[in-house]
């Protein structure tokens, strides 16, 4: 049986949401090309709105902190400001990736341009790493060459502003990233969350200096470096997993469960998934009765794809391959499917 990749054509323009909902009660739900494109476009628009809002908030926060750095000479606040600026600038490659991801697939890029988000994730990880190096350098330099800081009240206010701005941005990016399935946007949100906590560390450093411990400021700068390295580890792991086509094993479990409950499916073989940008694609092997006609087996494959798409969030396309058992009522369709696979190789 040849591989099956099911796609329904659009039914024409929808005049209203109410009409669509009523139609959905009587007409099986389609996952046609236009539906998938609309979903991808909406995800990209949500990502772009999030990036625009976070860039504006972090831009204002960074500008305020930069002015206070010049006035106070605080190396801890300098490290926080550098990290905030880097976080704001990561919106640029990610925004470009989201725009590029809107381009349709073609004969060269047959899966589209969704992988651009993974490249943006690499840029974000490198930016986090660079900010940690610069922050560490400034902190060590201040420990070796001590200098006093002034305007402690302003440093404290800047630290509170940094925390509030970064936590707001972090929540927005993480929620949106998880909703649209963008690992790069989630990594960027984790980056912003770390910035928020490092801003609170700046507040502690200012308090230490106020109490007479002048080394508190560069020590906090080193603490900020350590915090940046922790978020770097988490962000790098997320991006690495996406580049290596890793998925949550629970998604595979859900897919196998859905396939086993499709009428006519006698067994389930390999199930594979991968992320393309912020959408999932799947390939699955199923066993059907060998006495079925091509049309009947095709109908089961169609039902299997529908079941997969409804069972797995963010799954937009599935290729279902049908195979047959050696005899009606075979005891182990999994083993039989494996035999067919080995013979094909």
For domain 33-243, the question of CATH label 1.20.1510.10 is answered with: yes
pLDDT tens-digit map of 132-148: 887 788 778 777 777 66
Q: Which fold has domain 4-26+247-344?
A: Alpha-Beta Plaits (3.30.70)
The two three-digit tokens of residue 276, written as one number: 């393309």
- Which class for 18: exposed (0-12), middle (13-18), buried (19 or more C-beta within 10 A)? exposed
Instruction: Write the burial class of residue 228 (CB in 10 Å: 0-12 exposed, 13-18 middle, 19+ buried).
Output: buried
Give the Å distances, CA to CA, from 320 to 134, 271, 272, 305: 50, 9, 11, 7
Contact of 247 with 266, CB cutoff 8 Å: no
Measured distance between the N- and C-terminal CA atoms of the chain, rounded to whole angstroms: 16
* Integer angstrom CA distances of residue 297 from 2, 103, 263, 326: 10, 34, 11, 16
Q: pLDDT tens for residues 295-312?
A: 999 999 999 999 999 999
Q: What is residue 42's predicted lDDT score, i.e. its pLDDT? A: 60
What whole-number distance in Å separates Cα of residue 274 and Cα of residue 116? 15
Going from N- to C-terminal start, the domains of the chain cover: 4-26+247-344, 33-243
- pLDDT by position in tens, the chain (length 345): 444 444 343 444 444 443 433 333 333 333 333 343 345 456 667 878 888 888 888 888 888 888 888 888 777 778 778 777 877 777 788 788 878 887 888 999 988 888 888 888 888 888 888 878 877 887 787 777 776 666 778 888 888 888 888 889 888 988 888 887 777 778 778 777 777 777 777 777 777 777 777 777 778 778 878 877 887 888 888 888 988 989 999 999 999 999 999 999 999 999 999 988 778 899 999 999 999 999 999 999 999 999 999 999 889 889 999 998 644 444 454 544 554 554 445
Residue 200 CA to residue 205 CA, distance in Å, equals 9
Q: What is the pTM of this model?
A: 0.64
Nearest in space to 292 (alpha carbons), one of 250, 319, 324:
324
Query: Which residues does 57 contact at the CB level (< 8 Å), separation at least 6?
Result: 165, 168, 169
Nearest-angstrom CA–CA distance, 343 and 257: 27
Give the tens place of pLDDT for each residue, 159-171: 888 888 888 988 8
Compute the mean pLDDT over every residue in the chain, rounded to the nearest whole number: 77
- Angle between helix 216-243 and helix 116-144 axes, rounded to 10 deg: 160
Q: 146: Cβ–Cβ under 8 A, 6 or more apart, which residues?
A: 214, 215, 218
Sheet-wide strand order for 267-276: 4-5, 315-324, 279-288, 267-276
């Amino acid at each position: 049986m040849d591989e099956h990749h099911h796609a329904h054509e659009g039914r024409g323009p929808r005049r209203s949401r109410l009409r669509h909902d009523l139609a959905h009660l009587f007409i099986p739900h389609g996952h046609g090309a236009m539906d998938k494109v609309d979903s991808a476009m909406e995800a990209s628009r949500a990502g772009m709105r999030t990036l625009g809002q976070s860039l504006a908030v972090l831009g204002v926060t960074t500008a305020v902190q930069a002015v206070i750095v010049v006035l106070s000479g605080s190396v801890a606040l300098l490290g926080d400001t550098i990290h905030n600026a880097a976080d704001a600038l990561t919106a640029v490659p990610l925004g470009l990736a989201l725009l590029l991801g809107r381009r349709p697939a073609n004969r060269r890029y047959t899966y589209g341009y969704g992988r651009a988000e993974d490249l943006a994730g690499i840029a974000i990880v490198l930016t986090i790493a660079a900010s940690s190096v610069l922050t560490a350098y400034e902190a060590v330099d201040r420990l070796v060459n001590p200098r006093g800081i002034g305007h402690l009240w302003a440093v404290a206010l800047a630290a509170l502003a940094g925390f509030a701005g970064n936590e707001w941005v972090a929540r927005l990016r993480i929620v949106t990233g998880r909703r649209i399935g963008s690992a790069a946007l989630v990594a960027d949100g984790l980056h912003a969350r770390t910035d928020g906590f490092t801003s609170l560390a700046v507040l502690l450093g200012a308090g230490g200096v106020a109490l007479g411990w002048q080394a508190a400021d560069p020590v906090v700068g080193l603490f900020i470096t350590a915090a940046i390295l922790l978020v770097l580890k988490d962000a790098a792991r997320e991006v690495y997993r996406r580049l290596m086509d890793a998925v949550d094993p629970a998604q595979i479990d859900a897919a196998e469960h859905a396939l086993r409950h499709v009428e006519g499916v006698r067994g389930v073989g390999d199930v594979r998934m991968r992320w393309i940008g912020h959408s999932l694609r799947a390939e699955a092997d199923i066993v059907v009765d060998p006495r079925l006609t091509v049309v009947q087996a095709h109908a089961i494959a169609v039902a299997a794809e529908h079941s997969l798409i409804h069972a797995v969030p963010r799954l937009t396309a599935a290729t279902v391959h049908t195979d047959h058992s050696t005899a009606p009522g075979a005891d182990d369709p999994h083993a039989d499917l494996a035999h067919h696979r080995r013979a094909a190789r």
